[in-house]
Chains A and B, each alone.
Chain A
Amino acid sequence: MTDDELMEAIARGDEESARLLVERWESTVFAFHLRMVGSREDAQDLGQETFVRLFKHAAGYRPAGRFRSWLFRIAGNLARSHLRRRRVLSWVSFSPGRHDSAAAEEDPGADVERAEAAAAVRRALSRLPERQRRAIVLRNYQGLSYREISSAMGASVPAVESLIRRGMAALGRELSAREAER
Chain B
Amino acid sequence: MSREREEHVGDKLQAFLDGELSSSESDSVRAHCAVCSECARSLADLEAVRVALEGDDVPSPLRSMWPAVREELERRSSPGFDLSFGLAASAAAVAGVALGLLLGASGDLPDRMLESSNTYAEGSLLGDESVPTLDEVYVYSFEEDGDD
A-B contact count (CB 8 A): 193
Q: How many residues of B contact A (CB 8 A)?
A: 62
In the complex, which residues of chain B have a beta carbon less than 8 angstroms from the beta carbon of A84? 130
CB <8 Å contact, A78 and B65: no
Whether A60 and B52, one on each chain, are in contact in the complex, defined by CB atoms closer than 8 angstroms, is no
Tell me whether B36 is interfacial, beta carbon within 8 Å. no
Q: Say whether A129 contacts B86, CB under 8 Å.
A: no
Contact for B86 among A26, A35, A56, A78, CB less than 8 A: A56
Given A23-B66, A48-B68 in contact, is the A35-B83 Cβ separation under 8 Å? no
Known: A121-B55, A161-B20. 6 other contacts (CB 8 A): A26-B66, A60-B117, A77-B127, A78-B130, A128-B148, A169-B46
- In contact, A60 and B86 (Cβ under 8 angstroms): yes
Residues of B within 8 A of A (CB): 11, 14-15, 18, 20, 45-46, 48-50, 52-66, 68-70, 72-73, 76, 81-90, 92-93, 111, 114-115, 117-122, 124-127, 129-130, 143-144, 147-148
Write out the residue numbers on chain A whose beta carbons fall within 8 Å of the beta carbon of B87: 59
Contact B125 A52 (CB under 8 A): no
Instruction: Identify the closest chain B residue to A63 (Cβ).
Output: B114
A-B contacts, 28 of them at CB < 8 A, read: A13-B82, A15-B83, A23-B66, A26-B61, A30-B65, A35-B58, A47-B61, A49-B72, A51-B65, A52-B73, A56-B76, A56-B85, A57-B86, A59-B84, A60-B93, A60-B117, A61-B118, A62-B114, A70-B118, A77-B130, A81-B129, A121-B53, A128-B148, A130-B148, A132-B148, A164-B14, A167-B148, A172-B49
